[in-house]
Amino acid sequence: MIVILQKDVKGTGKAGEVVKVSDGYARNVLIPKGIAKEATEGNVRNLNRQKEIAAEKKAAQKATAEEQAAKLAQTSVDIKAKGGEGGRLFGSITSKDIAEALEKQHGIKVDKKRIDMKNPIKNEGEFHVKVKLFEQVNAEVKVVVTIA
C-alpha cells in the first residue's frame, strides 16, 4: 500500500514523503495511529500544494533576510562601556548587548542567538561580528567599542 507519512518513521521515511509499505503495517499501525494516511489522488494533490506553499514562504523569508543583510552590512554599532587602563573593559560585550544596541540605534531587530561570537569582546576597539539571518544568508556588523 502506498501512504503519505504524517510524522517521521524510523526505517520507513520522513514526514511528507510518499512511501510504499506492506498492507498490514499500513492498516494496523500507521493509519490508526495517525502516522500516515492513504495516498489517494486528493491527498497527494493536497501534499503537493502544501509543499508549494512552504517553498513560497521560505523564498519570501529568504528575500527578507537578504534585505536585512544588506542593511546590516552598512551599519555600525557604537557601544560605550566602562573600562580601565590599556583599553580593557570591566566586564565584556556579549551578543545580547550587540542585539540591544542594534535595535536601539538602528531599529533592526536581531535575535541574540543569531549573532555569532566565539568569545565576548573584552577590549576597546573596532570589531566585525557575523550575524546568521537565514540559511546561507549572513551579514557582518561593525561594532565599535569605546570606554566611557
Helix, coil or strand: residue 82: coil
Query: What is the model's pLDDT at position 77?
Result: 92
Based on the fold, state whether residues 73 and 110 are members of the same structural domain: yes
Q: Enter the C-alpha cell of residue 40.
A: 489517494
- Domain span at residue 11 reads 2-64
CATH number at residue 83: 3.10.430.100
pLDDT reported for residue 28 = 95
Q: What pLDDT shows up at residue 84? A: 85
pTM for this predicted structure: 0.70
108 to 50, 75, 76, 77, 121: CA distances (angstroms): 31, 10, 12, 11, 21
Number of domains the chain is built from: 2
> What is the end-to-end Cα distance of the chain in Å, rounded?
71
User: CA-CA distance, 5 to 35, in Å (whole number)?
Assistant: 6
Q: What's the rounded Cα separation, in Å, for the pair 95 and 110?
A: 10
Residues 6+ apart with CB under 8 A from 12: 5, 19, 21
- pLDDT of res. 86: 83
Query: Both 83 and 119 in a single domain?
Result: yes
| pLDDT for residue 27 | 94
Q: Using an 8 Å Cβ cutoff, are 3 and 17 in contact? A: no
Low-confidence ranges of the chain (pLDDT < 70): none
Residues 77 and 137 in one domain: yes
Domain limit, last residue, from 48, 64, 80: 64
- Which pLDDT belongs to residue 13? 93
Where is the domain boundary, 64, 93, 115? 64
Residue 40 and residue 97 in one domain: no
Give the CATH number of the domain where residue 12 resides. Answer: 3.40.5.10
The verdict on 116 and 51 lying in the same domain is no
Specify the pLDDT at position 85. Answer: 83
Region of residue 55 (phi > 0: left; psi between -120 and 50: alpha; otherwise: beta): alpha
Same domain, 57 and 105: no
pLDDT of residue 100: 93
The last residue of a domain, from among 14, 42, 64:
64
Residues 73 and 36 in one domain: no
| Closest alpha carbon to 147 in 91, 102, 70, 76 | 91
